[in-house]
Amino acid sequence: MTATAEAPTAPRDVSAVVAALRVTYESGRTRPLEWRREQLQGLRRMLVERESELLAALATDLGKPRAEAWATDVGFVISEIDHVLRHLRSWARPERVWAPLVTRPAKARIVREPFGVALVIAPWNYPIQLLVSPMVGALAAGNCVVAKPSEVAASTSAALARLVPKYVDTDAVAVVEGGVAETQALLAERFDYVFYTGNGRVGRIVMEAAAQHLTPVTLELGGKSPVIVEESADLHVAARRIAWGKYLNAGQTCIAPDYVLVSAGLEDRFVEEIRRAVFDFYGSDPKASSDYGRIVNQAHVQRLAGLLGDGHATIGGAVDEAERYVAPTVLQAVPADAAVMRDEIFGPILPVVPVDGIDAAVEFVNGCERPLALYLFTASRSVRDRVLSGTTSGGVAVNATMFQVAVPALPFGGVGPSGMGAYHGKASFLTFSHAKAVLRKGPKPDPDLAYPPYTARKERLLRRFL
């Protein structure tokens, strides 16, 4: 089927879908770089030509403001595609490596080849970015792809299922909609690579299913991404950047600041700066602001409402379940064992915890699971070096939040419970590529050095040149 032909949503007979894609892959159709480029260019055209439809779907699902939706879902992926298109030829070129003397005359190289048929499972919070961006990596590497959008963002899922087949090779790319049953059916199939973005509980299920076929996986999970605000920080700038990162998409971001560790003497001043930033961003009534999003569904509103009792809401705290609204909120006097400090919040609630200096902050972070992101606000080089060397996280931003993912040359991924593997830019291409080792030798010369019988002379030579 041509890339411009009309195509229905992929059927739910996932075995047939996967089998058809495998036939395409084994035909060699996806190997040429030109085919790969055509798929990426098709996805780019979709994002540009169908922007209004996609932004409308995001507004329906998450109440995303138009500018925010474009920047974080549509424009983000366009930039990713452009970066990959600029570099794909050089990334795909075989890489020559040194061949030791004992192997010569010989040539050694690394050949990047696709795995085969890849499964990409996306979440609902950035339903375009987190489905299409991994697809970009998979297609750039020459794989066929089954794309599974989240049923929770139902409008965006339907839009993607309708639009993607109009812009790509439908013999090589299939979008499978559905819920738990369809996901379970997909996971029962044998794939050559599985890429999952979501929470750790489902991540374990995905990994267990992949293990049945020894299928490699990338897991992009989440967790509690801490912010450290140290005494030398510019509190006004820090508060604005933290508030922006926290309340973007109503806090439903895997790398959103989850809690703030602030030097004890700065806590009240910092909270007042957050209050000022919230007013500057959303006015006196964020609920009436066209720039503030909504929680994805009422179940998540109820979950977040249950966390508000874990401390004192000195900013916000309002909830309107019918409107799927949770106000930009700051919690203080939060008990260390509270659920809001134990579980990923994934909403617009920001606990602020006072600590006695940078060593206490580092100790606090290291006492928790390794985060997907860590944020530090400081003007001190020694403090920066202390935190960078003394903590482990998927990524770090100093005097910023969120922007580390906007650099396509930086790999994005977690460590331990926050994930395994990485993508974006070249990391995406490498993730979805098998590095095949290739050694080439001619038939002559053929010295008997490596062949039995092993004489004392041969052993001396082997020890010298191996």
pLDDT over 50 (residue 245)? yes
Rounded to an integer, the average pLDDT of 292-305 is 97
Mean pLDDT of 51-79: 97
User: According to the model, what pLDDT value does residue 1 have?
Assistant: 37
How much is the pLDDT for 12?
A: 55
Q: Are 178 and 10 in contact (CB under 8 A)?
A: no
Per-residue pLDDT of 36-48, as tens digits, reads: 999 999 999 999 9
Q: Is the preceding peptide bond at 354 cis, omega within 30 degrees of 0?
A: no
Instruction: Tell the residue number behind the tokens 């019988």, with chain if given.
Output: 453
CA 219-221-224 angle, to 5 degrees, is 155
Q: Report cis status (omega within 30 of 0) of the bond before 114.
A: no
Residue 5: the pLDDT is 38
| pLDDT confidence band for 144 (50 / 70 / 90) | very high
Is 254 catalytic? The answer is yes
Strands 325-326 and 319-320: antiparallel
What span, in angstroms and rounded, lies between the C-alpha atoms of 358 and 442?
Answer: 61
pLDDT confidence band for 100 (50 / 70 / 90) = confident
Chain-wide mean pLDDT for the chain? 95
**CA 256 – CA 233 distance, rounded (Å):** 19
Q: Is the pLDDT of residue 11 over 70?
A: no
B/e letters for 201-213, b = 16+ CB within 10 Å, e = fewer, are: ebbeebeebbeee
**pLDDT tens per residue, range 386-445:** 999 999 999 999 999 999 999 999 999 999 999 999 999 999 999 999 999 999 998 888
- Please determine, for residue 263, whether its predicted confidence score (pLDDT) is greater than 70: yes
Contact 178, 12 (CB under 8 A): yes
The CATH number corresponding to 225-409 among 3.40.309.10, 3.40.190.10, 3.30.420.40, 3.40.50.450 equals 3.40.309.10
Specify the pLDDT at position 173: 98
Active-site residue, 182 included? no
Whether the predicted pLDDT of 466 surpasses 80? no
Q: Quickly count: other Cβ atoms within 10 Å of residue 281's Cβ.
A: 17
Task: Report the alpha-carbon angle 175-180-181, nearest 5.
Answer: 80
Residue ranges matching CATH 3.40.309.10 in the chain? 225-409
For residue 228, list its beta bridge partners. Answer: 261, 376
Produce one character per residue of 23-61: b if its CB has 16 or more CB atoms within 10 Å, e if not. ebbeeeebeeeeebbbbbebbbbbbeebbeebbbbbbbb
* Residue among 144, 177, 254, 273 flagged as catalytic: 254
Of 412, 16, 438, 439, which is closest to residue 218 (Cα–Cα)?
Answer: 412
pLDDT confidence of residue 104: 84
% the chain with pLDDT above 90: 91
% of the chain at pLDDT higher than 70: 97
Neighbours of 440 (CB within 10 A): 10
- Above 60 in pLDDT, residue 10? no
Query: CB of 224 within 8 A of CB of 200?
Result: no
- pLDDT value of position 311: 94
Q: How confident is the model at residue 347 (pLDDT cuts 50, 70, 90)?
A: very high
What's at 195, amino acid-wise? F
- Over residues 154-171, the mean pLDDT reads 98
d(CA 350, CA 250): 11
The ranges of the chain annotated as CATH 3.40.605.10 are 14-221+417-438
- The model's confidence at residue 8, banded by pLDDT at 50, 70 and 90, is very low
Which one is catalytic: 220, 230, 273, 344?
Answer: 220
Determine the average pLDDT of the residues in 358-369. Answer: 96
CATH T-level assignment (fold) for domain 14-221+417-438: Aldehyde Dehydrogenase; Chain A, domain 1 (3.40.605)
